[in-house]
Amino acid sequence: AANSIWGKSLREYFCVDISADMNDLAAVLLRDGKQDGRPCMKGVFFRQFLPVSPMNKFDVIISSYSLMDLPSVQERINTLRTLWIKTEHFLVVIENGTNEGYKTVLEARDLILHGENYLKTNRRIRKLDAEQDEDELNKESEQYSSNVDMKREFDKAVSMSMKMNDNWPVGHVYSPCSHDLPCPRLNDGTDTPCNYLQEYHPLKLSQMPKQVQKENFSYVVLRKGQRSKGCNEWPRLIRPVLVKSKHIHCHMCCHDGRIHHTVLTASKHGKDLYYCARYSKWGDQLPLSILAETMNKSTQENDSTQHKQCTEPTTEEDW
């Protein structure tokens, strides 16, 4: 995938897998399945371990379906610390789209943004929360809902404090989030992960006909350096657009760190905005700055009328 986009500018692909057999298999696949074949691309190297020297850095580092294989939280933290130190520009973390995969990606996001102390503090808080009985959790949920802004400011202050204590290299979320605030999926009451859908053609390893398959995945792209003002503030669709008669429902994660449900119509919001959203797919960003400005007003106006008539889908088939 990287070769198809940046092939002319890439000098080296440094592939790491602790399994020597998997490295050998990957090398054979790049030679069209022939032991003595010619590789289909140059500059590909396979190793079992990362370079020891901190001077070896890479423009893009990808950890794909790997962190969940590690035996402990501390092992994941150590691995992520090493990867972040070796990252020159972008670190990409991809896991399966289950709740476990999503939480692993979230763990990586919190570690890079806020440091190890913040991550461990959050884990202790979540462990204590899990040990509380249901009544106490419900009370806390109601209290949290009424003090969302206060908690966000507290998290931000704690984050800055932890960064200073850890002396951690600064970074920000490049994708899918348009913010560095806590993931709103954690407290939206649905217990669903932040994930996306990808269709793919599996390898034809038998006489079975090829069929397009689907995979849910969770991911985060982290970039070194401070977030620049106005960078990547477009909202992202976190579910497929639900098309109804003359109006559409959009559920988006926005740069204010909240999930917004808005109902768009051509008459109220204009044909350009309406058709742009109508033909967008799950995971797309809507490249319209006015959407973030009109979102709250649109949601308030339509929730009292149309939302009562339209039940929100609860399964993937409904979507």
Q: Each residue of 179-189: pLDDT tens digit? A: 999 899 887 77
Q: How far apart are CA 83 and CA 69, in angstroms?
A: 16
Q: In whole angstroms, what separates CA 231 from the centre of its chain?
A: 17
Q: Looking at residues 181-202, what average pLDDT do you find?
A: 87
39, 30 Cβ separation under 8 angstroms: yes
pLDDT recorded at residue 120 = 67
Task: Give the model's confidence band at 33: pLDDT under 50 very low, under 70 low, under 90 confident, else very high.
Answer: confident
Q: Is the confidence at residue 114, as pLDDT, over 70?
A: yes
What stretch of H or E contains 218?
A: strand 213-224
For residues 289 and 43, which has the higher predicted lDDT (pLDDT)?
43
pTM: 0.76
Tokens 């949920």 — which residue? 141
How many other C-beta atoms are found inside a 10 Å radius of the C-beta of residue 57? Answer: 14
Burial status of residue 213 (CB atoms within 10 A of its CB: 0-12, 13-18, 19 or more) = exposed
Q: Decide: helix, strand or coil at residue 273.
A: helix
- Confidence class for position 227, pLDDT limits 50, 70, 90: confident
CA–CA distance from 35 to each of 29, 32, 39, 123, 268 (Å)?
A: 9, 9, 10, 47, 63
Q: State the chain's mean pLDDT as an integer.
A: 78
Q: Is 153 exposed, middle or buried (0-12, 13-18, 19+ CB in 10 A)?
A: exposed
Q: Are 16 and 50 within 8 A, CB to CB?
A: yes
